[in-house]
Structure 1
Amino acid sequence: MNTVQVTVDRSSRTPLHVQLAQQLEAAITGGDLPVGSRLSNEVDLAEAYGLSRPTVRQAIARLVDQGLLVRKRGVGTQVVGNAGQVRRSLELTSLYDDLAATNRTPQTEVLWLGPVGATADVATALQCEQGDHVLRIERLRRADGEPLAIMRNWLPTEILDTDAATLAANGLYELLRAEGVRLKVAHQTISALPATPEQARLLTEQPGAPLLAVTRITYDDHGRAVEYGSHLFRASRYAFEHTLIHR
Structure 2
Amino acid sequence: MTSAIDRTSPLPFYYQLKQILLTEIRERDLAAGDRLPGDHELCATFDVSRTVVRQALAELETEGVIVRVKGRGTFVAPEKTAERLVQSLTGLYEDVAARGSHLRSEVRRQEVVPADEQIAAQLEIQPGSPVVVVERLRFVDDEPWVLATTYLPHDVAPGLVDDDLTDQSLYALLERRYDVHLTHGRRGVEAAVAGDALAADLAIKPGDPVLVLRSTSHAGDRPVEMFVAYHRGDRSRFEVTLSRTRPTDAQLEPLMRVTAP
Q: TM-score range by the shorter chain?
A: 0.5 to 0.7
Q: 2:110 matched to 1:113? A: yes
Cα 1:130/1:242, change in 2 over 3 Å: same
Q: Distance in 2 between matches of 1:93 and 1:31?
A: 30
1:232 partner SS: strand
Contact kept in structure 2, 1:34 and 1:81, CA below 8 Å: no
Residue aligning to 2:188: 189
Unmatched 5+ stretches in structure 1: 2-26, 37-62, 71-79
Q: Distance in 2 between matches of 1:130 and 1:33?
A: 58
Structure-to-structure mapping, 1:61-140, within 5 angstroms: 66-68=63-65, 82-89=77-84, 90-140=87-137
**How many matched pairs?**
188
The Cα of 1:243 is off from its aligned counterpart by 2.4
| Structure of higher CA gyration radius | 2
The one-letter code sitting in structure 1 at the alignment partner of 2:133 is R
Contact kept in structure 2, 1:111 and 1:140, CA below 8 Å: yes
Q: Distance in 2 between matches of 1:233 and 1:95?
A: 11
Identity %: 28
1:183 partner SS: coil
Cα 1:117/1:195, change in 2 over 3 Å: same
Q: 2:120 matched to 1:154? A: no
The Cα offsets for residues 121-158 of structure 1, whole Å up to 9 and x where unpaired, read as 21111001122211100001000000000011000101
Partner of residue 243 from structure 1, selected from 241, 244, 250: 241
Residue aligning to 1:40: none
The Cα offsets for residues 168-217 of structure 1, whole Å up to 9 and x where unpaired, read as 12111111111211111110011112212111111001112111111000
Residue aligning to 1:177: 175
Question: When the two structures are superposed, what TM-score results if normalisation uses the length of structure 2?
Answer: 0.64
Q: Distance in 2 between matches of 1:214 and 1:240?
A: 10
Question: When the two structures are superposed, what TM-score results if normalisation uses the length of structure 1?
Answer: 0.68
1:121 partner SS: helix
The Cα of 1:230 is off from its aligned counterpart by 0.5
Structure-to-structure mapping, 1:32-47, within 5 angstroms: none
1:100 partner SS: helix
RMSD, aligned CA? 2.8
Residue aligning to 2:211: 212
Q: Distance in 2 between matches of 1:94 and 1:218?
A: 11
Q: Distance in 1 between matches of 2:66 and 2:195?
A: 31
Q: Distance in 2 between matches of 1:83 and 1:140?
A: 20
